[in-house]
A and B are shown apart, each in its own frame.
Chain A
Amino acid sequence: MELKQIDEFLWEIPRTGGMRVPGRIYASKRIIDDIRDDPCLEQVANVAHLPGIAGYSLAMPDIHWGYGFPIGGVAATDAEEGVISPGGVGYDINCGVRLLRSNLTYSAIAKRAEALADALFAAIPAGVGSEGAIPALDTTEMRRLARDGADWALRQGYATRADLDHTEENGRLAMADPDAISAEAYARGRRQLGTLGSGNHFLELGRVDQIFLPAEAERLGLGLDTVTVIIHSGSRGLGHQTCDDYLRTIGKAMERYAIKLPDRQLACAPILSPEGQAYLGAMAAAANFAWCNRQMMTHLTRRAFMETLGISERALGMTLVYDVCHNIAKFEDHIVAGRRRRLCVHRKGATRAFAAGHPALPDAVRAIGQPVLIPGDMGRYSYVLIGAAGAMRETFGSTCHGAGRVMSRARAKKEARGRDLIAELRAAGVTIRYQGRATLAEEMPAAYKDVADVVAVMEGAGVSRRVARLKPFAVIKG
């Protein structure tokens, strides 16, 4: 694959064959050297074949091999003449991250870290087939939830108004169509509300250990040693089944629209077609489920902290800093080649990163830019960023979403053989609770890039800026 270096942090795949635009990858020399022979670069080029794609097929520095789109991929298609691709959103629709901050300091509660880990592990179902955080919902209630998103959680007493104000889209995409979700998808999701799931999903207790932008950190309620909680999860089985349902129907419809693509997983339909509109309604409904899921876990987390530490809600002061999606398609306005255009921005393992002053941002953060939450691996650190002006100019308001894998799951399991990962994490100051030993091995720190390298690329490119670094002290894994 031919790669042309544009500047220190940007590389281009020139337009060839059926590519409608060039591909562009944000990466350091070291990151690009690591992926030069990886299928993910071919996937960036494949995405460039999508009808109506604007500007470039983009990839962030946490890029790795996905299916269809690379993980870390961003593609913006024209809202009227372009396509929507379920594969560009991914199976885990509205997989995302939320960050909670508290009035607690780590030094004050360090001795209770084990007890907190136990309480959270008991309160929040995790692991393969996890379910039962709350009683299973009937179909009528599931449909209301899919329609109303986090508003449903607010009505049920599981959220505060401030939680919704600090959630992307206020936790609800209004175009949700509960009728567009299949019976199988509802069946897979009805017992899974408030559950973490398995794989790379986690709940992490941490403390702020570095501050890069003091005024912005203060605005977000993050002081040195502040205790934080990161929740990483998505739409669980409901989202996966929804993606699968629409890959099938849209895949069949492509012939009718004379669309040919190099990978079936990129299946797409015109945004304004019946199939495209049905998928968007279903995607939004699944996204609403995901917001409710993370909100339910927020509720369970607050309760576990209060019960374990014997403190009031006011003393805990656990508020939502922000909740971001990193698998989603959104309709947004961006300037392309000097012209304002309405675009459908697909982010597959990428995070929205609007700069200060953007009207879509809530009042509380509009002056500083959108908070962006970038989890690292469970042994090192995670970052809080804010969107910067470069994101609006170059990346359709997008940045990275995590560290990005460097090892396959199979290789990670091999590397973990004979090692005591729990002791290694303990030595790094992290206590862990997990359901599956295989998941623990697959998710070991060495399986991921150093997230510091990833966020440094985005900062160097002027796309997002580092606000604070969070060091984990307890991790709950599936």
Chain B
Amino acid sequence: MPRNAATREFEHTGDVGIEVVAATREELFAEAIAALGRIMYDADRVEDRERRKLTVFAATDADLMHDALARALNVFLIDAFVWRDANVIAASGGIEAELIGELFDRSRHQLHEELKAVTYHRLAVERTPAGWRAVVIFDA
């Protein structure tokens, strides 16, 4: 189902910042996880062959965003799994995310930017009149 969400990269001197807006909280998390993948590699070339599930709990939505993105980052960095998209559903005290993709294949997948960590600097998740908004800066 098409997602009612968008991501904008903003200028940060040494690193990479994104602002994500979405109609719903679940879409916000799904779009942020999908955006993380798009920054790191050409997600359009990733095929839907396998699913990876992440269950993340945290005390606040900002912590949840940090931890969900950090977990997804390690799915790429440690397990070499790349995703073309993500689905997210709310769980009690957290979220369940499903990454849709396949194992990284250097012959088919093109890498873009190396992101190394999800920072807490200016990290924000908030409700807005139009829906939801998040700001995340990645260490690149």
Q: Is A408 an interface residue (CB 8 A)?
A: yes
Known contacts A65-B13, A198-B114; A264/B74 CB under 8 A = no
Q: Report whether B78 and A188 are in contact in the complex, using a CB–CB cutoff of 8 Å.
A: yes
* Cα–Cα distance between A267 and B120 once the two chains are bound (Å): 9
Q: How far is the CA of A304 from the CA of B93 in the complex (A)?
A: 54
Question: Known: A67-B137, A408-B13. Contact between A264 and B120, CB under 8 A?
Answer: yes
Tell me whether B70 is interfacial, beta carbon within 8 Å: yes
**Cβ-defined partner of B78 (8 Å) among A68, A91, A184, A244:** A184
Shortest CB distance A380–B (Å): 19
Chain B positions within 8 Å of A438 at CB level:
112-113
Alpha-carbon distance between A243 and B117 when the two chains are bound, in angstroms: 9
Check: B55 CB closer than 8 A to any chain A CB: no
In the complex, what residues of A have CB within 8 A of residue B77's CB?
A: 129, 188, 237
CB distance from B82 to the nearest CB of A (A): 11
Give A88-130 interface residues, CB cut-off 8 Å to B. 91-92, 127-129
| CB of A135 to closest CB in B, whole Å | 17
CB of B3, distance to nearest CB on chain A (Å): 24
Is A260 positioned at the interface, with any CB of B under 8 Å from its CB?
no
Partner of B11, one of A187, A198, A408: A408
Minimum CB–CB distance from B72 to chain A (whole Å) comes to: 13
* Given A64-B14, A67-B15, A67-B137: A436 in contact with B112 (beta carbons within 8 A): yes
Q: Is the CB of B121 within 8 A of A67?
A: yes
Which B residues are CB-close (under 8 A) to A237? 77, 116
Scan A430-466; emit 1 where CB is below 8 A from any B CB, else 0: 0000001010000000000000000000000000000
**Does A393 touch B at the CB level, under 8 Å?**
no
Taken residue by residue from 312 to 353, chain A's Cβ proximity to chain B (1 for < 8 Å, 0 otherwise) reads as 000000000000000000000000000000000000000000
| Interface bits A179-212 vs B (CB < 8 Å: 1, else 0) | 0000010011000000001111000000000000
C-alpha spacing A197/B16, complex, angstroms: 17
Assess the A128–B111 pair: CB atoms within 8 A.
yes
CB-defined contacts of A263 to chain B, threshold 8 Å: 120-122
Partner of A197, one of B12, B74, B114, B122: B114
Residue numbers in B under 8 Å from A187 (CB-CB): 78
Cβ 8 A contact of A66, one of B9, B11, B14: B14
Interface size class of B (residues with CB under 8 A): 20 to 34
> In the bound complex, do residue A184 and residue B74 qualify as a contact, i.e. CB atoms below 8 Å apart?
yes
Say yes or no: B120 contacts A247, CB within 8 Å. yes
Contact A409–B78 (Cβ < 8 Å): no
Chain B residues closer than 8 Å to A200, beta-carbon distance = 14
Cβ-defined partner of A410 (8 Å) among B9, B121, B123, B137: B9
The binding surface of chain B is classed by DSSP as loop
A interface, over-half SS: mixed
Residues of B within 8 A of A436 (CB): 111-112
Bound form: Cα–Cα A398–B53 in Å? 46
* Contact of B135 with A by CB under 8 A: no
Inter-chain CA distance A405–B13, complex, in Å, is 7
Q: Are A91 and B139 in contact (CB under 8 A)?
A: yes
Say which residue of B9, B12, B13, B117 sits within 8 Å of A240 (CB atoms): B117
B140 at the interface (CB under 8 A from A): yes
Q: How far is the CA of A38 from the CA of B116 in the complex (A)?
A: 24
Of B10, B111, B123, most A-chain CB atoms within 10 Å: B111
For window 57-77 of A, CB contacts with B under 8 Å fall at 64-68, 71
A409 to B10, CA, bound (A): 10
CB distance from A132 to the nearest CB of B (A): 12
User: Is A411 close to B, CB under 8 A?
Assistant: yes
Q: Does A249 contact B (CB under 8 A)?
A: no
Residues of A within 8 A of B119 (CB): 67-68, 91, 265
- Cβ distance B113 to chain A, nearest Cβ, rounded Å: 6
Instruction: A67-B119, A91-B117 given; name 14 further pairs at CB < 8 Å.
Output: A67-B120, A71-B13, A127-B114, A129-B114, A244-B70, A244-B118, A248-B67, A264-B123, A265-B121, A408-B12, A408-B13, A409-B12, A438-B112, A478-B114
Interface residues on A, range: 35 or more
One of B14, B112, B120, B140 near A251 (C-beta < 8 A): B120
A427 to chain B, nearest CB (A): 27
Q: How far is the CA of A410 from the CA of B121 in the complex (A)?
A: 19
Of A243, A244, A264, chain B has the most CB atoms within 10 Å of the CB of: A244
**What residues on B are CB-neighbors of A240 within 8 Å?**
116-117, 139
Q: Which of B38-57 contact A (CB under 8 A)?
A: 40
**A69's closest neighbor in chain B, by CB?**
B121
Nearest CB of A to B84, in Å: 18
A28-54 interface code vs B (CB 8 A; 1 in, 0 out): 000000000010100000000000000
A-B contact pairs, 30 of them (CB 8 A): A38-B13, A65-B14, A66-B13, A67-B15, A67-B120, A67-B121, A67-B122, A67-B137, A68-B121, A91-B117, A128-B111, A129-B114, A184-B74, A187-B78, A200-B14, A240-B139, A243-B117, A244-B117, A244-B118, A263-B122, A264-B121, A265-B119, A405-B14, A409-B14, A409-B15, A409-B140, A410-B10, A436-B111, A436-B112, A438-B113
Q: Which of B10, B40, B74, B119 gathers the greatest number of chain A CB atoms within 10 Å?
A: B119
